[in-house]
Amino acid sequence: MTCDPVRLGVAGLGRGFMLTLPSILADKHVRLVAAAAPRAESREAFVAEFGGRAYATIEELAADPDVEAVYIATPHQMHREHAEILAAGGKHLLVEKPLAISLDDATAIVDAAARAGVRLVTGPSHSFDQPVLAARRLIDEGRFGRVRMIHALNYTDFLCRPRRPEELSTELGGGVVFSQAVHQVDVVRVLMGGEALTVSAMTGAWDPARPTEGAYAALIRFDGGRFANLVYSGYAHFDSDTWQDDIGELGAVKDPAKYGAARRALATVSSPEEEAALKSGRTFGAVDVPPAAPHAEHFGPVIVSCDRADLRLTAKGIEVWGDTERSFIAAPADPSPRAEVLKGLYDAVRGNNPPIQSGGWGRASLELCHAILESATTGGPVQLQHQS
């Protein structure tokens, strides 16, 4: 049966768009037809590469009658404004994680979509990765019993990559909690399959030159006495991909000779403006589209403890450590690594099906991120109110 792809516009042609672009190009469920971006160079590159139309403003994109849905890949703090404009223009929404910075803004986005009668999908995040979804299917089969405990950890160079000034301000959505914890939160929520109740956490902000959170540890309590432990550091020292067969987050094999590259590049800049310019060199129109990766995307080592087995998620698949036997279940890379979120958008628009990760899901994950920050400040557990 022929697939009638959703005609997709993109708001923002920065790094987020670049990371999702290989999936968009490989996926039959969507077709790029338009974009909005403030930089003329990016707009010109988009039209030259894909045809269609490129606008300087979100309002122009919202008024384009050929656009059915828009992938909002603008900076976090702009999500509410852009979502409200696009929803009012009748566009279905795929909003890059996190859904917003504040919970009030997240609620406003959910309400705007409901008022306009459009579908709202939150993502992509690493909860859509092939190994995560394969593990969820194994859990649903029931042969391993219930999930009881999850450990997820990731050590990266995130905070030492080139950043715009607002990305180093927690109040403006910077730091590792809003950009990175949301991945781990989404992953454990998918795998746990239940309601999160409380969060106890600590955060670390250890570099005065980059005054935002670069690390955290969080214990999330779920229903039935189950729990998940999340650990993250973005300070560019230990690299936990060494425990993932030296396969990086986007599924490519890492070159050991490039260790320390982020810090070396950062040492070449002497001002926030120079650093922002360095980041601009990683956006659409400035670099080539990444080639297809040989392995699935991942977000660091994850171990899921069930009644009768532990499951270790890797970029190649799932190791099953059962009561008396070990086995391995491959999870090959999809040519469209983020196929599930794009299919979810397609099913929501074409089939009028509820999104697999709706606006309510995105708000619940954002609440967990805020709870990490609040618990780290108060020193006590935080009760959750907006889980689903």
CB 207 within 8 A of CB 199: no
Task: Note the pLDDT tens digit of each residue in 73-82.
Answer: 999 999 999 9
Average pLDDT over residues 313-332: 96
49 pLDDT more than 90: yes
Q: What is the pLDDT of residue 292?
A: 83
Average pLDDT over residues 274-291: 81
**CA-CA-CA-CA torsion for 101, 106, 107, 112, nearest 10 degrees?**
130
Average pLDDT over residues 329-346: 93
Q: What is the pLDDT of residue 289?
A: 75
What span, in angstroms and rounded, lies between the C-alpha atoms of 284 and 17?
Answer: 8
157 pLDDT more than 80: yes
Structure tokens at 146: 């219930």
- Please give the mean pLDDT across all residues of the chain: 95
DSSP letters spanning 227-244: EEEEEEE-SSSS-GGGGG
In this structure, are strands 317-322 and 227-233 parallel, antiparallel, or unpaired?
unpaired
386 pLDDT more than 80: yes
What span, in angstroms and rounded, lies between the C-alpha atoms of 347 and 359?
Answer: 15
186 pLDDT more than 60: yes
Closest to 311 in 3D by CA, of 182, 184, 131, 159: 131
CB-based burial label for 206 (10 Å; 0-12, 13-18, 19+): exposed
pTM as predicted: 0.95
Q: In what order do the strands lie in the sheet with 317-322?
A: 326-330, 317-322, 309-313, 302-306, 147-155, 227-233, 215-222, 196-204, 382-383
What span, in angstroms and rounded, lies between the C-alpha atoms of 79 and 104?
Answer: 12
CA angle, 219 then 225 then 231, to 5°: 15
What span, in angstroms and rounded, lies between the C-alpha atoms of 181 and 158?
Answer: 12
DSSP count for the chain of H helices, then E strands: 12, 15
Q: What is the pLDDT of residue 117?
A: 97
CB 43 within 8 A of CB 54: yes
345 pLDDT more than 70: yes
SS3 252: coil
Q: What is the pLDDT of residue 279?
A: 87
What span, in angstroms and rounded, lies between the C-alpha atoms of 306 and 77?
Answer: 38
Side chain identity at 171, as an amino acid letter? Answer: E
CB 198 within 8 A of CB 368: no
Task: Note the pLDDT tens digit of each residue in 20-30.
Answer: 999 999 999 99
Q: How does DSSP classify residue 307?
A: S
Q: What is the pLDDT of residue 2?
A: 74
Q: How does DSSP classify residue 246?
A: T
Task: Note the pLDDT tens digit of each residue in 130-154.
Answer: 999 999 999 999 999 999 999 999 9
Give the side-chain half-sphere CA count within 13 A for 20.
30
Structure tokens at 368: 């967990």
165 pLDDT more than 80: yes
Q: Which domains, ranges and CATH numbers included, belong to the chain?
A: 6-126+336-359 (3.40.50.720), 129-335+369-383 (3.30.360.10)
SS3 10: strand
SS3 152: strand
Where residue 83 falls among pLDDT bands split at 50, 70, 90? very high
